[in-house]
A and B are shown apart, each in its own frame.
Chain A
Amino acid sequence: MIFNIEYETMPREALEAIQVRRLQATLGRAYASVPFYRKSFEDAGVTPADIKSLDDLRRIPFTTKQDLRDNYPFNMFAVPMSNVVRIHASSGTTGQPTVVGYTLRDVDTWAELMARSLVAGGASNEDIIHNAYGYGLFTGGLGVHYGAEKLGASIIPVSGGNTKRQIVIMKDFGPTILTATPSYTLHLAEVATEMGVSFKDLKFKYGIFGAEPWSESMRTEIENKLDIVAVDIYGLSEVMGPGVAIECHEAKAGLHVFEDHFIPEIIDPETGEPLPYGESGELVFTSITKEAFPVIRYRTRDITSLNPEPCICGRTHVRMDRVSGRTDDMLIIRGVNVFPSQIESVLMQMDEVEPHYQLVVDRADSLDILTVMVEVNERLFSDEVRLLQNLERKISNDIKEYLGISAKVKLVEPKTIARSQGKAVRVIDNRKI
């Protein structure tokens, strides 16, 4: 099934004509209403009128995460606050998340794209959707929620956590579609087993999983354990939220990017030069219908490639490959973006000088476990064990407070954290994904 046959199966030529028209309108609005974009275009010597084709897009400068941070909280908004009906935020540097806004029309567009995604993942208006993505500032929960309502499916807004209750709801309400992060899904499967509940006896048919990196082997594991078909969904709050791209359950081979709303590009992360179809590089997005928070050539830092081959599902939109990595050292832990620099800022508050630390990520019982190793220097040290334990607790609490994730803090001796060529190795990711 396809939710919007006209747009999702539109011939490439017609699709590209729409893209150019929408791109020009977006550039015009961004130039007129967002000082950052006006300056960025002017510095590059281009005006929206210079952009006459999709190829001309490369003349426009990139937008980075740092640009969004510099304009915290609302300076990237292209409409007055009176037209903004929703605000979301993604975790960012301590005390400074990336804030995004939506007009009523943006919320409706998002719901449409999420409805398309749910259908691509196997859902219809007959389904009951168990939505275990977190509700809140994170876009996952509400994104799926509005899409499900748009589709006319029945949504259970269960959000994350309280796993045992979730299993009871699954048994009693009989949901047929599961939406969650893949790691939480495996956790649900384990808790169900402990409770003596078999997923094979539940009514699930399809699952739509995303918000963190996962692999084909995890897909196989989820499909076997839950007795469902599992697809990958992609999105990021800066561009919209979940529903930027979705795998169709027919092919399960790459995620269709909704090109009537976003223009994807792949660039060489070193030179910024666009790369042809099939080549792997950094994914860059330009939104072409968003009103409150247009993004222009936004560098996602995600590494993937684009595939224009026709798909058996009938959709004509290009497919992006599963994200294979990041150009920076961002970690995604239980669906939350974590940069080593954020942990660093928390540690700096303890001790005003840059501490030596290392982040170790493991996956135990299918949940991500973050351990922060901190070298104890003389300013942090105390001869009282109680104070050292308080220090561990305080760092852990601050990380929880600022980043929203639980971390185990472990104090280690100086010079024990491996350094490569004099530079400390900040991240060790032991997850097999």
Chain B
Amino acid sequence: MYVEQISVFLENKAGRIADVTSILAKAGVNIRALSLADTSDFGVLRLIVDDHAKAERELKENNFTMGKTFVVAAEVEDKPGGLHKIMDLLGKEGLNVEYMYAFVRPHTNNAVMIFRFDKLDEAVQVLTDNNITIIEGEKLYSL
């Protein structure tokens, strides 16, 4: 039910994201979704890719500090109020979202929201109980 996400620690300086994308490009790793969170000094790049093991190996070899976490990918109707339906549900259930990001799939009526919850199992339970479609990791990597 969960999606594997890798995260990379980056100092806030020009060209650092390019260093990451260049390594992944050379390794033939495809980025499915990403988000970047930053402060004035550093940033955390979060990635969902088609081959996590390979991405992790290549980045580690290049001295990047990495982390691995599980996130949830939920289908959201690509229309006004689509996201609100989920957020409203999570709010009512008291589920805290650490962070979230979206990617839109062309040629479908749905967008995909990636959620990072601290209470992962509980969140998945609430979403499935309310008929929200959760996308399996394997499926997402190869979308």
Binding site for B on A (CB under 8 A): 376-378, 381-386, 388-389, 410-416
Contact = CB atoms under 8 A, between A and B. Distances in A.
B65 A414 contact: yes
B9 A410 contact: no
Nearest to B11: A413
A414 B66 CA distance: 11
B69 interface: yes
8 contacts: A381-B66, A384-B44, A385-B37, A385-B38, A388-B9, A411-B42, A414-B63, A416-B11
Interface of B: 5, 7, 9-11, 37-39, 41-44, 46, 63-67, 69, 98-99, 116
Given A384-B99, A385-B38, A414 B64 contact: yes
Contacts of A415: 63
Contacts of A414: 63-65
Residue from the set A383, A412, A414 with the largest chain B CB neighbour count within 10 Å = A383
Contact of A378 (B10, B42, B46, B65): B65
Given A381-B65, A388-B42, A412 B5 contact: no
Contacts of A384: 44, 98-99, 116
A335 B108 CA distance: 66
Contact of A383 (B38, B41, B63, B67): B67
B10 A383 contact: no
B67 A381 contact: yes
A416 B116 CA distance: 30
A414 B67 CA distance: 14
Nearest to B60: A378
Contact of A413 (B10, B37, B38, B39): B10
Residue from the set A386, A389, A413 with the largest chain B CB neighbour count within 10 Å = A413
A416 B65 CA distance: 12
A154 B97 CA distance: 62
Contacts of A381: 7, 9, 65-67
Contact of B11 (A382, A383, A412): A412
A412 B64 CA distance: 11
B63 A411 contact: no
A413 B41 contact: no
B98 A376 contact: no
Contacts of A410: 41
Given A378-B65, A383-B116, A413-B63, A388 B11 contact: no
Residue from the set A377, A381, A389, A416 with the largest chain B CB neighbour count within 10 Å = A381
A394 to B, nearest CB: 15
Given A412-B11, A413-B10, A416-B11, A383 B44 contact: yes
6 closest Cβ contacts across the A-B interface?
Answer: A383-B7, A385-B37, A415-B63, A376-B65, A381-B67, A376-B9
Residue from the set A378, A382, A384, A389 with the largest chain B CB neighbour count within 10 Å = A384
Given A411-B9, A414-B63, A414-B65, 17 more contacts: A376-B9, A377-B65, A378-B65, A378-B66, A381-B65, A381-B66, A381-B67, A383-B5, A383-B116, A384-B116, A385-B43, A386-B98, A388-B39, A389-B39, A411-B42, A413-B9, A415-B63
